[in-house]
Amino acid sequence: MEFQPIIDDIAASLAAERGAGRVATYIPALARVDPAQFGIALCTGDGQVFAAGDADVPFSIQSISKLFSLALAMRHVGDALWQRIGREPSGNPFNSLVQLEWEQGVPRNPFINAGAIAVADRLVSACPDARATLLAMVGSLCGEAVAFDEEVAASEAATGFRNIALANFMRSFGKIDNAVDAVLDLYFHQCSLAMSCVQLARATAFLCRDGAHPLDGSTVVSERQARRLNALMLTCGTYDAAGEFAFRIGLPCKSGVGGGIVAVVPDRLSLCVWSPGLDDTGNSLLGMKALEMFAARTGLSVF
Ligand code: GLN
């Protein structure tokens, strides 16, 4: 399939709509991003990369990091992870506290904030320097060094009252083992990772390769774990819009409030779209449109 003309066409068709949606402002450092940016990049299972628009501009990956931290926790903690975290869509906003009380401090899934904070707790227990381990894994996957944006991490730490509440609430149920500050330090830093569409398409290619590293073929996660990551992305990766994503796009996706969305076509390719303007569910408005166009144009879907 000729991917370059398809993504060029998608970028051109959405040019007039650049700036649509609302940039996340609850994290002050994100509110300053130019909303009129749009990028798309795709990486095939055999490593060919195609890109259009602002595909090389680094942006805050935010909740897309939940994918990497979960992959790392699957490696280090294995199935014991699921004693602390569920696998069901939440049907609630990503930062909701409501369900957590009903469900005794066990988050619905690893892709809502509470779930990712619980994953971070497991990583703090399992790795002597979890921040460095995560950074090394993501850098190795995309083939070049990546870095935390300390300004974004500090901005989140200063205003992350809901995440602080979620972490303390889980700790009150005995579901967080480590000091809340240490757990949130990892969580805020992973969210602050700055990466481009090209880097993210590369870094998620292991998900379209049954867990094999995109560059050296080593095992990032097992085939079964890769399948499970994709399943969780499809059912929970876009929060309370997961049903809409499955309906309109039909691919495992993971979004972040920085405006990025990664999507996987198992056994074929991984792709990343980015545009900072969000819809009411915290997913990139143009990103979702771009993925819908991609699925329609290529006929690629898991269904
Ligand atoms: N860092 C953001 C938060 O904790 C991540 C949310 C997101 O990308 N959906 O609220």
Nearest CA to ligand 1 atom 2: 62
Indicate if 69 belongs to the active site: no
Candidates 257, 262, 265, 273; catalytic one: 257
In angstroms, what is the span from residue 257 Cα to ligand 1's centroid? 6
Cβ(265)–Cβ(208) under 8 Å?
yes
Please tell me the pTM assigned to this model: 0.97
What does the pLDDT read at residue 185? 98
| Per-residue model confidence (pLDDT) at position 94 | 87
Rounded CA-CA distance 296/266 in Å is: 17
**Which ligand 1 atom sits nearest the alpha carbon of residue 156?**
1
Give the helix ranges, DSSP H, for the chain. 3-13, 65-77, 98-102, 113-126, 130-142, 150-159, 161-172, 180-192, 197-203, 223-236, 242-248, 285-298
Q: Which of 27, 236, 238, 239 to mutate to test the pocket of ligand 1 (most atoms within 8 A of CB)?
A: 27
Among candidates 223, 172, 181, 220, which has minimal Cα distance to 73?
Answer: 220
Residue among 22, 25, 94 whose CB has most ligand 1 atoms within 8 A, to mutate: 94
Annotated catalytic residue 239: yes
26 counts as catalytic: no
Catalytic (active site) residue 265: no
pLDDT at position 226 is 98
Buried-state track 30-48, b at ≥16 Cβ within 10 A, e below 16? beebebebbbbbbbbbeee
Out of 63, 140, 192, 255, which one is annotated catalytic? 63
Catalytic residue of the set 90, 152, 239, 284: 239
Contact 163, 117 (CB under 8 A): yes
Candidates 242, 132, 117; CA nearest to 180 is 117
Tell me, using a 6 A CB cutoff, whether residue 187 lines ligand 1. Answer: no
Spans of the chain below 70 pLDDT: none
| End-to-end alpha carbon distance in the chain | 19
Q: 263-291 as b/e, with b when 16 or more CB fall inside 10 Å?
A: bbbbeebbbbbbbbbbbebbbbbbbbbbb
How far does CA 223 lie from the centroid of its chain?
A: 20
Partnered with residue 73 across adjacent β-strands are none
pLDDT of res. 92 = 87
Q: Is the CB of 163 under 6 A from ligand 1?
A: yes
Q: What is the pLDDT of residue 12?
A: 98
What dotted CATH number matches 3-298?
3.40.710.10
Ligand 1 neighbourhood includes 94 CB (under 6 angstroms): yes
Q: Does ligand 1 have an atom closer than 6 angstroms to the CB of 256?
A: yes
Which residues, 6+ apart, have CB-to-CB distance to 115 below 8 Å?
Answer: 66, 85, 86, 107, 108, 109
pLDDT of 107 reads: 97
Q: Name the residue ranges covered by the structural domains of the chain.
A: 3-298
DSSP one-letter code for 21: S
Q: What is the pLDDT of residue 279?
A: 96
Identify residue 117 by its one-letter amino acid code.
Answer: I
CB 99 within 8 A of CB 108: yes
Neighbours of 91 (CB within 10 A): 13
For ligand 1, say whether the CB of 235 is within 6 Å of any of its atoms.
no
- Nearest atom in ligand 1 to 62's CA: 8
What's the pLDDT score for residue 62? 98
The catalytically annotated residue of 138, 187, 192, 289 is: 187
